[in-house]
Amino acid sequence: MNRKERRAAAHQQRKQDRKAGFPTTPSAVVPDLNIPEPGLPLPSLDSITPPAKPPISEARREANRQNAQHSTGPTSSAGFAASSQNRTVHGLARHNGSFRLLPMEKHDKFEALKTELADEQQPTTPTEAILVNSMAESLWLKQRADQLLETCIDYLTGQIKDPKMFSLYLRYQTTHTRAFHKCLNDLIKLRSEKRKAELGFEAQNRKEEELRIKNEQHEMKKQSQYWEVLHKDAKACHQLTLNLMQQSAARKENPNFQAEFEAELAKHGAKPATWACAEAAA
What pLDDT, in 10s, does the model give residues 15-35? 888 877 655 554 444 455 455
How far apart CA 162 and CA 168 sit, in angstroms, is: 10
With CA atoms as reference, report the closest residue to 138 among 104, 111, 103, 175.
Answer: 175
pLDDT of residue 71: 63
How far apart CA 154 and CA 158 sit, in angstroms, is: 5
Q: How many CA atoms lie within 13 A of 81 on its CB side?
A: 3
How far apart CA 250 and CA 68 sit, in angstroms, is: 140
- φ and ψ of 50, to 5 deg: -65, 150
Amino acid at site 141: L
How far apart CA 60 and CA 51 sit, in angstroms, is: 21
pLDDT, one tens digit per residue, over 254-278 is 777 777 777 777 777 766 554 445 5
pLDDT of residue 84: 55
pLDDT-based confidence at residue 81 (cuts at 50, 70, 90): low
Q: Is 95 helix (H, G, I), strand (E, B) or coil?
A: strand
pLDDT of residue 28: 47
pLDDT-based confidence at residue 132 (cuts at 50, 70, 90): very high
Residue 171's alpha-carbon distances to 46, 86, 257, 282, in angstroms, are 51, 22, 119, 104
With a cut of 80, say whether residue 122 has pLDDT above it: yes
The per-residue pLDDT of the chain, averaged, comes to: 78
The residues pairing with 63 across neighbouring beta strands, listed in sequence order, are none
User: In sequence order, which residues have a C-beta less than 8 Å from that of residue 107 and are 6 or more positions away?
Assistant: 101
With a cut of 80, say whether residue 142 has pLDDT above it: yes
Of residues 63 and 254, which shows the higher confidence score?
Answer: 63
How far apart CA 131 and CA 187 sit, in angstroms, is: 7
How far apart CA 165 and CA 152 sit, in angstroms, is: 7
With a cut of 70, say whether residue 282 has pLDDT above it: no
pTM comes to: 0.45
pLDDT of residue 120: 92
To the nearest 10 degrees (0 to 180), the angle between helices 107-121 and 126-151 is 130
- Cβ contact 180:140 at 8 Å: no
Q: How far is CA 190 from the centre of its chain?
A: 11
Task: Measure the CA dihedral 110/111/117/122, to 10°.
Answer: 160
Strand-pair category, 153-154 with 159-160: antiparallel
